A and B are shown apart, each in its own frame.
Chain A
Amino acid sequence: MTTVYRKSAGLQDRELHYCPGCSHGIVHKLVAECMEELGVIDTAVLVCPVGCSVFAGHYLACDAVEAAHGRAPAVATGIKRTHPDQLVVTYQGDGDLASIGAAEIVHAAMRGEKFTTIFINNAIFGMTGGQMAPTTLLGQRATTAPHGRQKEIHGSPIRVSEMLATLDGLAYAERVCVTDIPHLNKAKKAIKKAFELQLSGVGFTFVEVLCACPTNWGMAPLEANKWLMENMAAYYPLGVIKEVQA
């Protein structure tokens, strides 16, 4: 019998708690596969955020540290600076990274910290129950923006990758999504490339993944993926945002 598919050794044997249609499980899998392919499960350290993926250290097989809300880039700085040869990855949502942790991510990028950030952008606070995030689209409803996000009151959503790309310390930024197999494959390539660039010491590497949150968007999983492609990908364009040659 030929094995055509198996679970990555980068994942633990645990049932995920994520909602149906949530993208976290897929992104966890891609991170795990990239770690396995690069042979770094045994040396990598994952820094988990506050939010739905707060339990990521129970799902990924590598060592992990749970950071305070938004502080993952500071925590990762402490680890990577003292373990320069190891792969260090922060995995952060948009509430965590773009709101409370805005200072930490900007300064990690400014310093050119040699770790990778996987940025889960689902345009909402997931775990707390659907409040507005800095990435919530104009007109999109949230429990703290019941009439939809309004530019005059809330400002326009923040494009984090483009903002960080203005900083010299950022070596690589790409925005991807995992709504179908071609996009998923591109996402995996981006994550692997970020890890490889990190290990070659080029600088800070950043992969933004547009993700679906069907539960808090109030949509069925397929409808959520469609909404993501039509609305989020329109405002947050997919593709390489910056790449410095090694």
Chain B
Amino acid sequence: MEKELWKGNEAIAEAAIRAGVNCFFGYPITPQNEIPEYMSAHLPEAGGVFVQSESELAAINMVYGAASSGMRAMTSSSSPGVSLKQEGISYMAGAELPGVIVNMMRGGPGLGTIQPSQCDYFQATRGGGNGDYRTMVLAPCNIQEAVDMTQEAFDLADLYRMPVVVLGDGMIGQMMEPIVWHDIPKRELPAKDWAANGRRGRDHNNFVTSLRMDAPDCEEHNRALQRKYDLISQTEVRWEETDTADCEILIAAYGTPARIASSAVEELRAKGVKAGLFRPKTVWPFPSKRLAEIAGQDSVKAILVVEMSMGQMVEDVQLATKCVKPIGFHGRPGGMFPSVEGIMEEAEKLLKEVQ
């Protein structure tokens, strides 16, 4: 297959169309505007529906409506807009509706900056809206992965009947890279016999709702959701690791910082420092088990977490490893990037401190 040069946001939109998205509802916000723009031009051509909504709130509730009637529905936004979408995401989790939400993160809090950031990790991985729920969170580190993950997100959402978030820092959306379009393995999916799209002879009406008025029912619903989340934590965890077998300093990073960290690992190795990289590809479920195994290796002296935030994933690293090794943190918030040199310096400093 031939390589093609694609901009991240446009590639994600095209990937969704190839995955059979029926409808897209969006609202402008930088740095994700190319997704709704691409959809407005190409989704109707493919037989789908594009609506520019009056707000992010409306967009996610349009997704809720379309998903409740059995459609493959999608929306995208960036940090402040995704905050507004939390209402609908919580209702989708409660009503067990599938849907795909792209968050091309920018610096915050508030309006912050339009520059790339990873400051919404907590919001994405802890649920984000009200209630005890999780969303699956896929975190691509390049455009090929963004394309593959977006396509797979629809199957995951349908399989588990839940919202799936594709979490990219703004760099993933704005950067251009060569990609290859290839077939994504399709999953066997259950029929959407719960959808409210007209009874058509069914002996009962389908009522899609997140309301569980009686407390015992609501408790049982929460327990059932948790069983689903526990299952996903077993079956859908993904990560990538490089040079971890003998590493003394383990660097943990996801998204764009993981690519920068990857260069830092190479250069540290060239200098004789035994560095390794652990990159979660799902940040929920977090690859805790494997990370704990690596952290427990005798070779590992310390772990350095690198993020474009003031330290959010670092808490999952602490929880996963139970802090069996010293954990350092290097973060660049507010739209700034960590540098290869910066990561190397922090890694060497941390190693020196623990030796």
B61 contacts the other chain (Cβ, under 8 Å)?
A: yes
CA distance A78 to B57 in the complex (A): 13
CA distance A64 to B198 in the complex (A): 9
Query: Are B23 and A81 in contact (CB-based, < 8 A)?
Result: yes
* A209 contact set on B, CB distance < 8 A: none
Chain B CB count within 10 A is highest, among A48, A63, A86, A111, for A63
Query: Are A65 and B22 in contact (CB-based, < 8 A)?
Result: no
B272 contacts the other chain (Cβ, under 8 Å)?
A: no
Query: Are A64 and B207 in contact (CB-based, < 8 A)?
Result: yes
Query: Are B61 and A71 in contact (CB-based, < 8 A)?
Result: yes
- Tell me whether A66 and B73 are in contact in the complex, defined as CB-CB below 8 angstroms, given that A74-B58, A82-B49 are known contacts: no
B326 contacts the other chain (Cβ, under 8 Å)?
A: no
Query: Are A78 and B65 in contact (CB-based, < 8 A)?
Result: yes
Q: Taking the nearest CB of chain B, how far is it from the CB of A55, in angstroms?
A: 8
Beyond contacts A63-B199, A81-B62: 14 other A-B pairs, Cβ-Cβ < 8 A, are A41-B199, A42-B198, A44-B198, A45-B69, A63-B196, A63-B207, A65-B207, A66-B208, A75-B62, A75-B68, A77-B25, A77-B65, A81-B23, A83-B198
CA distance A129 to B207 in the complex (A): 26
* B62 contact set on A, CB distance < 8 A: 74-75, 77-78, 81
Identify A78's interface contact among B25, B95, B205, B207, CB under 8 A. B25
Chain A residue with minimal CB distance to B211? A66
Query: In which size bucket is the chain B interface?
Result: 35 or more
Query: Are B199 and A83 in contact (CB-based, < 8 A)?
Result: no
Identify A86's interface contact among B25, B73, B198, B207, CB under 8 A. B198
A196 contacts the other chain (Cβ, under 8 Å)?
A: no
* B209 contact set on A, CB distance < 8 A: 48, 57, 64-66
* B207 contact set on A, CB distance < 8 A: 57-58, 63-66
- Tell me whether A57 and B205 are in contact in the complex, defined as CB-CB below 8 angstroms, given that A65-B196, A83-B198 are known contacts: yes
Please classify the interface of chain A as helix (H, G, I), strand (E, B), loop, or mixed, using the class held by over half of its residues. Answer: mixed
A68 contacts the other chain (Cβ, under 8 Å)?
A: yes
* A176 contact set on B, CB distance < 8 A: none
Query: Are A75 and B198 in contact (CB-based, < 8 A)?
Result: no
* B58 contact set on A, CB distance < 8 A: 71, 74, 77, 103-104, 107
Query: Are A65 and B208 in contact (CB-based, < 8 A)?
Result: yes
B206 contacts the other chain (Cβ, under 8 Å)?
A: yes
* A45 contact set on B, CB distance < 8 A: 69, 196-198
Q: Mark A216-235, 1 if CB is under 8 A from B, else 0.
A: 00000000000000000000
B80 contacts the other chain (Cβ, under 8 Å)?
A: no
B87 contacts the other chain (Cβ, under 8 Å)?
A: yes
Identify A82's interface contact among B55, B69, B210, CB under 8 A. B69
Q: Mark B36-67, 1 if CB is under 8 A from A, else 0.
A: 00000000000001010111011101111111
CA distance A45 to B88 in the complex (A): 19
CA distance A58 to B214 in the complex (A): 15
- Once A and B bind, how many residue pairs between them come within 8 Å at the CB atom? 136
* B61 contact set on A, CB distance < 8 A: 67-68, 71, 74-75, 78, 104
Q: Taking the nearest CB of chain B, how far is it from the CB of A114, in angstroms?
A: 13
Query: Are B205 and A12 in contact (CB-based, < 8 A)?
Result: yes
B278 contacts the other chain (Cβ, under 8 Å)?
A: no
A59-99 residues with Cβ-Cβ distance < 8 A to B are 60-68, 71, 74-79, 81-83, 86
- Tell me whether A82 and B23 are in contact in the complex, defined as CB-CB below 8 angstroms, given that A71-B57, A75-B65 are known contacts: yes
Q: Mark B79-96, 1 if CB is under 8 A from A, else 0.
A: 000000001100100010
Query: Are A68 and B199 in contact (CB-based, < 8 A)?
Result: no
B201 contacts the other chain (Cβ, under 8 Å)?
A: yes
CA distance A68 to B61 in the complex (A): 8
Q: Taking the nearest CB of chain A, how far is it from the CB of B36, in angstroms?
A: 15
* B211 contact set on A, CB distance < 8 A: 54, 66
Q: Taking the nearest CB of chain A, how far is it from the CB of B97, in angstroms?
A: 9
B271 contacts the other chain (Cβ, under 8 Å)?
A: no
A166 contacts the other chain (Cβ, under 8 Å)?
A: no
Chain A residue with minimal CB distance to B209? A66
Q: For the complex of A and B, list the 8 residue pairs with the smallest distance between their C-beta atoms, beginning with the closest.
A: A78-B65, A66-B209, A75-B65, A78-B66, A74-B61, A57-B207, A107-B54, A63-B196
Q: Taking the nearest CB of chain A, how far is it from the CB of B76, in angstroms?
A: 15
CA distance A45 to B199 in the complex (A): 9
A43 contacts the other chain (Cβ, under 8 Å)?
A: yes
Q: Taking the nearest CB of chain A, how far is it from the CB of B49, in angstroms?
A: 5
Q: Taking the nearest CB of chain B, how far is it from the CB of A204, in angstroms?
A: 14
B305 contacts the other chain (Cβ, under 8 Å)?
A: no
CA distance A82 to B58 in the complex (A): 16
A21-64 residues with Cβ-Cβ distance < 8 A to B are 41-45, 47-48, 54, 57-58, 60-64
Query: Are A65 and B49 in contact (CB-based, < 8 A)?
Result: no
* A66 contact set on B, CB distance < 8 A: 95, 207-211
CA distance A83 to B68 in the complex (A): 12
Q: Taking the nearest CB of chain B, how far is it from the CB of A206, in angstroms?
A: 17
Chain B residue with minimal CB distance to A12? B205
Query: Are B205 and A61 in contact (CB-based, < 8 A)?
Result: yes
Query: Are B91 and A78 in contact (CB-based, < 8 A)?
Result: no
Q: Taking the nearest CB of chain B, how far is it from the CB of A170, in angstroms?
A: 16
CA distance A48 to B205 in the complex (A): 14
Chain B CB count within 10 A is highest, among A42, A45, A78, A104, for A78
Chain B CB count within 10 A is highest, among A44, A74, A76, for A74
Q: Taking the nearest CB of chain B, how far is it from the CB of A169, in angstroms?
A: 13
Chain B residue with minimal CB distance to A85? B198
Query: Are A65 and B69 in contact (CB-based, < 8 A)?
Result: yes
Query: Are B51 and A75 in contact (CB-based, < 8 A)?
Result: no
CA distance A29 to B138 in the complex (A): 47
